[in-house]
Amino acid sequence: SCSVGLESRPDAINFTHRSPLLVSRLFQPSNLREGKDAGLEIRSGEMTCKSQKLMLQGGLIHPSSPGCYYYLPATVRAMEKLVRLIDQEMHAIGGQKLDMPSLCSAELWRRSERWNLMGKELFRLQDRHGAEYCLGPTHEEAVTDLLASQGTLSYKQLPLLLYQVTRKFRDEPKPRFGLLRGREFYMKDMYSFDTSEEAAHRTYQAVCQAYDQLFLRLGLPCVKVQADTGNIGGKLSHEFQLPADIGEDTLMICGNCGFSANTETIEPGRTDCPQCHGGVLTESKGIEVGHTFYLGTKYSSIFNATYYNAQNKPMVAEMGCFGLGVTRILAAAIELLSSEDAIRWPGLLAPYQVCILPPKKGSKVGDLGSLAEDLYYSLVKLLPSLKEEMVLDDRTQLTIGKRLKDASRLGYPYVIVVGQCVMEEPPRFEVHCQKNGETLFLSKEGLLDLL
Protein backbone atom coordinates (compact mmCIF):
# COMPACT_ATOMS: atom_id res chain seq x y z
CA SER A 1 0.00 0.00 0.00
CA CYS A 2 2.97 2.26 0.29
CA SER A 3 4.64 3.71 -2.77
CA VAL A 4 7.83 4.91 -1.21
CA GLY A 5 8.77 2.20 1.24
CA LEU A 6 11.81 0.00 1.17
CA GLU A 7 9.93 -2.69 -0.72
CA SER A 8 9.55 -0.38 -3.73
CA ARG A 9 13.33 -0.37 -4.18
CA PRO A 10 14.82 -3.57 -5.46
CA ASP A 11 18.30 -2.21 -4.70
CA ALA A 12 17.35 -1.23 -1.16
CA ILE A 13 19.48 -3.96 0.28
CA ASN A 14 22.56 -2.12 -0.95
CA PHE A 15 21.71 1.04 0.87
CA THR A 16 24.10 1.96 3.62
CA HIS A 17 21.48 4.24 5.22
CA ARG A 18 18.42 2.91 6.95
CA SER A 19 15.10 3.18 5.19
CA PRO A 20 13.07 6.28 6.06
CA LEU A 21 10.77 6.32 9.04
CA LEU A 22 7.32 6.00 7.55
CA VAL A 23 4.37 7.83 9.07
CA SER A 24 2.16 4.81 8.37
CA ARG A 25 4.39 2.77 10.67
CA LEU A 26 4.65 5.21 13.58
CA PHE A 27 2.88 4.08 16.72
CA GLN A 28 1.01 7.28 17.25
CA PRO A 29 -2.56 6.13 17.85
CA SER A 30 -4.02 9.50 17.11
CA ASN A 31 -7.55 10.57 17.51
CA LEU A 32 -7.35 13.38 15.00
CA ARG A 33 -10.70 12.82 13.37
CA GLU A 34 -13.05 15.67 13.80
CA GLY A 35 -16.53 15.15 15.13
CA LYS A 36 -17.79 12.78 17.72
CA ASP A 37 -14.65 10.68 17.96
CA ALA A 38 -12.39 13.55 18.85
CA GLY A 39 -11.42 13.41 22.48
CA LEU A 40 -13.06 10.01 22.89
CA GLU A 41 -10.47 9.06 25.47
CA ILE A 42 -11.10 12.01 27.71
CA ARG A 43 -13.39 10.52 30.31
CA SER A 44 -16.70 12.32 30.50
CA GLY A 45 -16.82 14.99 33.15
CA GLU A 46 -13.08 14.97 33.68
CA MET A 47 -11.47 18.39 33.89
CA THR A 48 -9.31 18.94 30.89
CA CYS A 49 -7.06 21.51 29.31
CA LYS A 50 -5.59 22.26 25.90
CA SER A 51 -2.36 20.29 26.31
CA GLN A 52 -4.18 17.23 27.61
CA LYS A 53 -6.60 17.24 24.67
CA LEU A 54 -3.86 17.83 22.12
CA MET A 55 -1.64 15.15 23.60
CA LEU A 56 -4.47 12.60 23.62
CA GLN A 57 -5.63 13.48 20.13
CA GLY A 58 -2.10 13.66 18.74
CA GLY A 59 -1.21 10.16 19.89
CA LEU A 60 1.31 11.44 22.43
CA ILE A 61 -0.19 9.95 25.58
CA HIS A 62 -2.77 7.32 26.40
CA PRO A 63 -4.62 7.19 29.74
CA SER A 64 -4.03 4.28 32.10
CA SER A 65 -5.46 5.10 35.54
CA PRO A 66 -6.11 8.53 37.14
CA GLY A 67 -2.91 10.56 36.85
CA CYS A 68 -1.06 7.74 35.06
CA TYR A 69 -0.38 7.70 31.35
CA TYR A 70 1.37 5.66 28.72
CA TYR A 71 3.99 7.98 27.27
CA LEU A 72 3.82 7.09 23.57
CA PRO A 73 6.91 7.14 21.31
CA ALA A 74 6.70 10.78 20.18
CA THR A 75 6.48 11.91 23.80
CA VAL A 76 9.44 9.76 24.75
CA ARG A 77 11.45 11.36 21.94
CA ALA A 78 10.56 14.86 23.16
CA MET A 79 11.34 13.85 26.73
CA GLU A 80 14.72 12.40 25.79
CA LYS A 81 15.58 15.69 24.08
CA LEU A 82 14.52 17.63 27.15
CA VAL A 83 16.57 15.36 29.41
CA ARG A 84 19.63 15.88 27.17
CA LEU A 85 19.25 19.66 27.53
CA ILE A 86 18.84 19.32 31.28
CA ASP A 87 21.95 17.10 31.43
CA GLN A 88 23.94 19.74 29.55
CA GLU A 89 22.89 22.48 31.94
CA MET A 90 23.48 20.35 35.04
CA HIS A 91 26.90 19.19 33.80
CA ALA A 92 27.86 22.80 33.11
CA ILE A 93 27.55 23.57 36.83
CA GLY A 94 29.28 20.38 37.93
CA GLY A 95 26.27 18.12 38.44
CA GLN A 96 26.83 14.35 38.40
CA LYS A 97 23.99 12.06 37.40
CA LEU A 98 23.00 9.03 39.45
CA ASP A 99 19.84 6.98 39.84
CA MET A 100 18.33 6.17 43.23
CA PRO A 101 15.84 3.42 44.10
CA SER A 102 12.16 4.27 43.83
CA LEU A 103 11.43 1.88 46.70
CA CYS A 104 12.37 3.97 49.71
CA SER A 105 12.59 2.45 53.17
CA ALA A 106 10.06 3.80 55.68
CA GLU A 107 12.83 3.84 58.25
CA LEU A 108 14.57 6.77 56.51
CA TRP A 109 11.32 8.66 56.21
CA ARG A 110 10.56 8.11 59.89
CA ARG A 111 13.93 9.54 60.83
CA SER A 112 13.17 12.77 58.98
CA GLU A 113 9.64 12.68 60.43
CA ARG A 114 8.16 12.92 56.97
CA TRP A 115 6.59 9.43 57.07
CA ASN A 116 3.62 10.92 58.91
CA LEU A 117 3.92 14.47 57.63
CA MET A 118 3.38 13.38 54.01
CA GLY A 119 -0.01 11.88 54.88
CA LYS A 120 -2.00 10.38 52.05
CA GLU A 121 0.23 11.77 49.31
CA LEU A 122 2.78 9.02 49.99
CA PHE A 123 2.26 5.70 48.19
CA ARG A 124 3.05 3.15 50.91
CA LEU A 125 3.64 -0.57 50.55
CA GLN A 126 5.09 -3.59 52.33
CA ASP A 127 7.40 -6.28 51.11
CA ARG A 128 6.89 -10.01 51.76
CA HIS A 129 8.58 -9.67 55.15
CA GLY A 130 6.31 -6.88 56.24
CA ALA A 131 9.01 -4.21 55.87
CA GLU A 132 7.48 -0.85 54.96
CA TYR A 133 8.41 1.26 51.98
CA CYS A 134 7.15 4.22 50.05
CA LEU A 135 7.44 4.91 46.34
CA GLY A 136 9.77 7.90 46.27
CA PRO A 137 8.00 11.24 45.81
CA THR A 138 11.37 13.05 46.27
CA HIS A 139 14.78 11.89 47.55
CA GLU A 140 16.23 14.14 50.27
CA GLU A 141 16.30 11.27 52.75
CA ALA A 142 17.83 8.77 50.34
CA VAL A 143 20.58 11.01 48.99
CA THR A 144 21.58 12.33 52.40
CA ASP A 145 21.74 8.80 53.78
CA LEU A 146 23.86 7.80 50.79
CA LEU A 147 26.31 10.61 51.54
CA ALA A 148 26.41 9.78 55.24
CA SER A 149 27.19 6.14 54.43
CA GLN A 150 30.50 7.31 52.89
CA GLY A 151 31.78 8.42 56.28
CA THR A 152 33.09 11.93 56.79
CA LEU A 153 34.08 13.53 53.48
CA SER A 154 36.90 16.00 52.95
CA TYR A 155 36.05 19.67 52.32
CA LYS A 156 38.02 19.19 49.09
CA GLN A 157 35.21 16.96 47.78
CA LEU A 158 32.66 19.76 48.10
CA PRO A 159 30.62 21.22 46.55
CA LEU A 160 29.03 17.98 45.46
CA LEU A 161 26.01 18.14 43.17
CA LEU A 162 24.14 14.89 42.56
CA TYR A 163 21.05 14.63 40.41
CA GLN A 164 18.75 12.12 38.79
CA VAL A 165 15.87 12.09 36.32
CA THR A 166 13.42 9.48 37.55
CA ARG A 167 9.78 8.68 38.05
CA LYS A 168 8.25 10.16 41.14
CA PHE A 169 5.09 8.91 42.82
CA ARG A 170 2.59 11.11 44.60
CA ASP A 171 -0.98 10.22 45.41
CA GLU A 172 -2.26 13.64 44.38
CA PRO A 173 -5.72 14.53 45.70
CA LYS A 174 -6.66 15.86 42.27
CA PRO A 175 -4.60 14.37 39.48
CA ARG A 176 -5.63 16.24 36.33
CA PHE A 177 -4.64 18.16 33.25
CA GLY A 178 -2.79 15.22 31.74
CA LEU A 179 0.93 15.35 32.34
CA LEU A 180 0.64 18.63 34.25
CA ARG A 181 -0.45 16.87 37.42
CA GLY A 182 0.11 13.15 37.39
CA ARG A 183 0.41 10.63 40.19
CA GLU A 184 3.40 9.16 38.42
CA PHE A 185 5.66 11.65 36.65
CA TYR A 186 9.28 12.41 35.78
CA MET A 187 11.26 14.87 37.82
CA LYS A 188 14.83 16.01 37.69
CA ASP A 189 15.93 16.36 41.29
CA MET A 190 19.37 17.63 42.25
CA TYR A 191 20.86 17.72 45.74
CA SER A 192 23.85 19.84 46.69
CA PHE A 193 26.34 19.51 49.56
CA ASP A 194 28.49 22.48 50.53
CA THR A 195 30.91 23.53 53.24
CA SER A 196 29.18 26.73 54.38
CA GLU A 197 25.98 28.69 54.09
CA GLU A 198 27.81 31.11 51.81
CA ALA A 199 28.99 28.31 49.53
CA ALA A 200 25.51 26.78 49.53
CA HIS A 201 24.11 30.13 48.39
CA ARG A 202 26.61 30.26 45.54
CA THR A 203 25.49 26.79 44.47
CA TYR A 204 21.87 27.92 44.79
CA GLN A 205 22.52 30.86 42.45
CA ALA A 206 24.35 28.65 39.97
CA VAL A 207 21.42 26.23 39.77
CA CYS A 208 18.93 29.10 39.36
CA GLN A 209 21.03 30.46 36.50
CA ALA A 210 21.16 26.99 34.91
CA TYR A 211 17.35 26.87 35.11
CA ASP A 212 17.09 30.34 33.53
CA GLN A 213 19.41 29.17 30.77
CA LEU A 214 17.34 26.03 30.16
CA PHE A 215 14.07 27.95 29.82
CA LEU A 216 15.78 30.50 27.58
CA ARG A 217 16.93 27.71 25.26
CA LEU A 218 13.43 26.27 25.27
CA GLY A 219 11.99 29.70 24.47
CA LEU A 220 9.61 29.51 27.43
CA PRO A 221 8.92 32.69 29.42
CA CYS A 222 9.77 31.49 32.90
CA VAL A 223 9.33 33.72 35.96
CA LYS A 224 11.29 33.10 39.17
CA VAL A 225 9.17 33.85 42.22
CA GLN A 226 9.65 33.66 45.99
CA ALA A 227 8.03 30.52 47.28
CA ASP A 228 6.89 28.62 50.30
CA THR A 229 9.17 25.78 51.43
CA GLY A 230 6.25 23.38 52.02
CA ASN A 231 7.01 20.00 53.54
CA ILE A 232 10.48 19.86 51.96
CA GLY A 233 11.54 22.40 54.59
CA GLY A 234 14.43 24.83 54.60
CA LYS A 235 15.00 28.55 54.68
CA LEU A 236 15.02 29.97 51.16
CA SER A 237 13.02 28.91 48.16
CA HIS A 238 12.03 29.95 44.65
CA GLU A 239 9.66 28.57 42.11
CA PHE A 240 10.06 28.74 38.36
CA GLN A 241 6.64 29.52 36.95
CA LEU A 242 5.25 29.59 33.42
CA PRO A 243 2.40 32.07 33.04
CA ALA A 244 -0.83 30.31 32.01
CA ASP A 245 -4.49 30.79 32.88
CA ILE A 246 -4.94 27.13 33.81
CA GLY A 247 -1.97 27.36 36.20
CA GLU A 248 -2.84 26.30 39.73
CA ASP A 249 -0.57 28.82 41.46
CA THR A 250 -1.39 32.47 42.00
CA LEU A 251 1.49 34.90 41.57
CA MET A 252 1.88 38.49 42.66
CA ILE A 253 4.21 40.58 40.54
CA CYS A 254 5.20 44.21 41.19
CA GLY A 255 5.09 46.38 38.07
CA ASN A 256 7.61 48.77 39.62
CA CYS A 257 10.53 46.76 41.06
CA GLY A 258 9.89 43.29 39.61
CA PHE A 259 9.26 41.69 43.03
CA SER A 260 7.42 38.42 42.46
CA ALA A 261 6.05 35.83 44.82
CA ASN A 262 3.65 32.92 45.07
CA THR A 263 0.63 34.10 47.10
CA GLU A 264 1.35 31.15 49.43
CA THR A 265 4.11 33.38 50.95
CA ILE A 266 2.57 36.84 51.11
CA GLU A 267 -0.31 38.25 52.77
CA PRO A 268 -3.30 37.33 50.61
CA GLY A 269 -5.15 40.30 49.18
CA ARG A 270 -2.16 42.58 49.54
CA THR A 271 -1.78 45.00 46.62
CA ASP A 272 1.15 47.22 47.67
CA CYS A 273 4.60 45.83 47.03
CA PRO A 274 6.36 44.62 50.21
CA GLN A 275 9.74 45.28 48.60
CA CYS A 276 9.64 48.78 47.07
CA HIS A 277 6.43 49.92 48.86
CA GLY A 278 5.64 52.18 45.88
CA GLY A 279 4.60 49.63 43.28
CA VAL A 280 1.28 47.85 42.85
CA LEU A 281 1.08 44.04 42.84
CA THR A 282 -0.82 42.41 40.02
CA GLU A 283 -2.15 38.89 40.22
CA SER A 284 -1.63 36.22 37.57
CA LYS A 285 -1.72 32.43 37.25
CA GLY A 286 1.29 30.19 36.77
CA ILE A 287 2.35 26.57 36.26
CA GLU A 288 5.16 25.59 38.64
CA VAL A 289 7.80 23.89 36.50
CA GLY A 290 10.75 24.09 38.88
CA HIS A 291 11.43 24.60 42.56
CA THR A 292 14.69 25.39 44.36
CA PHE A 293 15.32 25.12 48.09
CA TYR A 294 18.18 26.06 50.36
CA LEU A 295 17.87 23.41 53.06
CA GLY A 296 20.65 24.33 55.44
CA THR A 297 21.44 21.34 57.67
CA LYS A 298 17.89 20.09 58.09
CA TYR A 299 18.57 16.65 56.55
CA SER A 300 22.36 16.49 56.91
CA SER A 301 22.14 16.86 60.70
CA ILE A 302 19.53 14.11 60.99
CA PHE A 303 21.39 11.64 58.76
CA ASN A 304 24.83 12.78 59.78
CA ALA A 305 26.19 13.85 56.39
CA THR A 306 29.50 15.40 57.44
CA TYR A 307 32.86 16.57 56.12
CA TYR A 308 36.23 17.52 57.63
CA ASN A 309 37.02 21.21 57.27
CA ALA A 310 40.52 22.60 56.60
CA GLN A 311 41.26 22.35 60.34
CA ASN A 312 40.28 18.68 60.22
CA LYS A 313 37.21 19.32 62.32
CA PRO A 314 34.04 17.33 61.39
CA MET A 315 31.24 19.62 60.21
CA VAL A 316 27.66 19.07 59.07
CA ALA A 317 27.21 19.69 55.32
CA GLU A 318 25.01 22.51 54.02
CA MET A 319 22.40 21.32 51.53
CA GLY A 320 20.16 22.51 48.76
CA CYS A 321 17.62 20.68 46.61
CA PHE A 322 16.42 21.57 43.15
CA GLY A 323 13.46 20.08 41.29
CA LEU A 324 12.36 20.35 37.67
CA GLY A 325 9.11 18.80 36.49
CA VAL A 326 10.26 17.04 33.32
CA THR A 327 6.92 15.71 32.09
CA ARG A 328 5.17 18.83 33.40
CA ILE A 329 7.49 21.00 31.29
CA LEU A 330 6.52 19.04 28.16
CA ALA A 331 2.80 19.55 28.79
CA ALA A 332 3.25 23.16 29.90
CA ALA A 333 5.23 23.96 26.73
CA ILE A 334 2.39 22.55 24.62
CA GLU A 335 -0.11 24.45 26.74
CA LEU A 336 1.71 27.75 26.18
CA LEU A 337 2.77 27.46 22.56
CA SER A 338 -0.07 25.57 20.84
CA SER A 339 -3.30 26.76 19.30
CA GLU A 340 -6.57 24.94 20.10
CA ASP A 341 -6.02 22.39 17.34
CA ALA A 342 -2.31 22.40 16.48
CA ILE A 343 0.56 21.30 18.69
CA ARG A 344 3.56 23.60 18.83
CA TRP A 345 6.77 22.46 20.50
CA PRO A 346 9.81 24.41 21.56
CA GLY A 347 12.01 23.87 18.47
CA LEU A 348 14.55 21.83 20.44
CA LEU A 349 11.91 19.39 21.71
CA ALA A 350 9.88 18.59 18.58
CA PRO A 351 9.82 14.76 18.34
CA TYR A 352 10.81 14.98 14.65
CA GLN A 353 12.20 18.04 12.88
CA VAL A 354 11.16 17.27 9.31
CA CYS A 355 8.24 15.60 7.56
CA ILE A 356 8.53 14.86 3.83
CA LEU A 357 5.29 14.62 1.88
CA PRO A 358 5.29 12.75 -1.44
CA PRO A 359 2.32 13.45 -3.78
CA LYS A 360 -0.93 11.52 -3.71
CA LYS A 361 -0.82 8.13 -5.36
CA GLY A 362 -1.85 8.30 -9.00
CA SER A 363 -1.71 12.10 -9.10
CA LYS A 364 -0.89 13.97 -12.33
CA VAL A 365 2.67 14.71 -11.23
CA GLY A 366 3.43 11.06 -11.76
CA ASP A 367 5.73 8.94 -9.72
CA LEU A 368 7.36 11.52 -7.53
CA GLY A 369 7.42 9.06 -4.68
CA SER A 370 10.93 8.03 -5.57
CA LEU A 371 11.96 11.69 -5.77
CA ALA A 372 10.78 12.10 -2.18
CA GLU A 373 12.82 9.12 -1.19
CA ASP A 374 15.86 10.41 -3.08
CA LEU A 375 15.47 13.70 -1.27
CA TYR A 376 15.39 11.81 2.02
CA TYR A 377 18.60 9.93 1.23
CA SER A 378 20.50 12.95 0.00
CA LEU A 379 19.51 14.93 3.09
CA VAL A 380 20.66 12.07 5.30
CA LYS A 381 23.92 11.84 3.40
CA LEU A 382 24.72 15.54 3.68
CA LEU A 383 23.23 16.11 7.13
CA PRO A 384 23.66 12.81 9.01
CA SER A 385 22.26 14.33 12.20
CA LEU A 386 18.89 14.58 10.43
CA LYS A 387 18.66 10.82 10.01
CA GLU A 388 16.68 10.27 13.19
CA GLU A 389 14.77 13.50 12.76
CA MET A 390 12.93 12.94 9.48
CA VAL A 391 9.76 11.09 8.71
CA LEU A 392 8.21 10.41 5.35
CA ASP A 393 4.43 10.58 5.16
CA ASP A 394 3.84 7.57 2.95
CA ARG A 395 0.07 7.64 3.33
CA THR A 396 -0.16 8.49 -0.34
CA GLN A 397 -3.78 7.40 -0.53
CA LEU A 398 -4.47 10.74 1.19
CA THR A 399 -4.25 14.13 -0.54
CA ILE A 400 -1.31 16.42 0.15
CA GLY A 401 -3.75 18.87 1.74
CA LYS A 402 -5.03 16.31 4.23
CA ARG A 403 -1.52 15.19 5.18
CA LEU A 404 -0.34 18.81 5.43
CA LYS A 405 -3.13 19.44 7.88
CA ASP A 406 -2.12 16.43 9.98
CA ALA A 407 1.51 17.54 9.89
CA SER A 408 0.52 21.01 11.02
CA ARG A 409 -1.47 19.55 13.91
CA LEU A 410 1.43 17.41 15.04
CA GLY A 411 3.82 20.35 14.90
CA TYR A 412 6.78 19.32 12.72
CA PRO A 413 9.05 22.39 12.49
CA TYR A 414 9.56 21.74 8.73
CA VAL A 415 7.26 20.07 6.24
CA ILE A 416 8.69 19.49 2.76
CA VAL A 417 6.18 18.89 -0.02
CA VAL A 418 7.41 17.05 -3.09
CA GLY A 419 4.83 18.42 -5.51
CA GLN A 420 4.42 20.16 -8.89
CA CYS A 421 7.51 22.36 -8.46
CA VAL A 422 9.93 19.46 -8.58
CA MET A 423 8.98 19.23 -12.26
CA GLU A 424 10.37 22.71 -12.84
CA GLU A 425 13.93 23.33 -13.96
CA PRO A 426 15.73 23.65 -11.61
CA PRO A 427 13.48 21.51 -9.38
CA ARG A 428 12.17 23.17 -6.25
CA PHE A 429 10.66 21.90 -3.04
CA GLU A 430 7.80 23.53 -1.19
CA VAL A 431 8.86 24.01 2.44
CA HIS A 432 6.41 24.95 5.20
CA CYS A 433 8.26 26.51 8.15
CA GLN A 434 6.16 26.26 11.21
CA LYS A 435 8.04 28.86 13.25
CA ASN A 436 7.05 31.86 11.15
CA GLY A 437 4.27 30.30 9.09
CA GLU A 438 6.22 30.92 5.86
CA THR A 439 6.08 28.74 2.76
CA LEU A 440 9.33 28.74 0.78
CA PHE A 441 10.15 27.29 -2.62
CA LEU A 442 13.72 26.04 -2.42
CA SER A 443 16.25 24.12 -4.47
CA LYS A 444 17.87 21.15 -2.82
CA GLU A 445 20.85 23.37 -1.91
CA GLY A 446 18.54 26.01 -0.45
CA LEU A 447 16.86 23.32 1.57
CA LEU A 448 20.17 22.12 2.98
CA ASP A 449 21.05 25.67 4.00
CA LEU A 450 17.73 26.04 5.75
CA LEU A 451 18.03 22.78 7.68
Contact 324, 212 (CB under 8 A): no
Q: In terms of CB distance, is 132 or 228 closer to ligand ATP?
A: 228
- Do 339 and 348 meet the contact criterion of CB atoms below 8 Å apart? no
447 binds, among ligand ATP, Mg ion, none (CB under 5 to 8 A by kind): none
Which helix or strand (DSSP H or E) is residue 372 part of? helix 369-382
Q: Which residue is nearest to ligand ATP (CB)?
A: 325
Going by their DSSP bridges, the two strands 153-154 and 68-71 should be labelled as unpaired
With beta carbons less than 8 A apart as the criterion, state whether 54 and 338 touch: yes
Distance CA 86, CA 136 (A): 21
Give the nearer residue to ligand ATP in terms of CB position, either 204 or 429.
Answer: 204
- Closest approach, Cβ 40 to ligand ATP, in A, equals 24
By CB under 5 A, residue 77 contacts Mg ion: no
Min separation Cβ 60 and ligand ATP, Å:
15
168 binds Mg ion (CB under 5 A): no
Binding-site ranges for ligand ATP (CB under 6 A):
138, 170, 172, 181-182, 185, 187, 230, 288-291, 323, 325, 327-328
- Identify what 247 binds: ligand ATP, Mg ion, none; CB under 5 to 8 Å per kind: none
Phi, psi of 410 (to 5 degrees): -85, -15
Distance in Å, CB of 94 to ligand ATP, minimum: 21
- CB within 8 Å of 218: residues ≥ 6 apart: 85, 329, 333, 346, 348, 349
Q: Are 428 and 442 in contact (CB under 8 A)?
A: yes
Distances (CA, A) of 347 to 220, 243, 354, 403, 412: 11, 19, 11, 21, 9
Could you tell me the smallest distance in angstroms from the CB atom of residue 289 to ligand ATP? 5
Helix, strand, or coil here: 167? Answer: strand
**Single residue of 53, 114, 181, 291 touching Mg ion by CB under 5 A:** 291
Q: Which stretch binds Mg ion (CB under 5 A): 64-72, 84-92, 252-260, 287-295?
A: 287-295
* Cβ 299 to ligand ATP shortest distance, Å: 14
Closest to ligand ATP by CB, 170 vs 432, is 170
Supply the minimum distance, in Å, between the C-beta of residue 288 and Mg ion.
Answer: 5
For Mg ion, the binding residues (CB under 5 A) are 288, 291
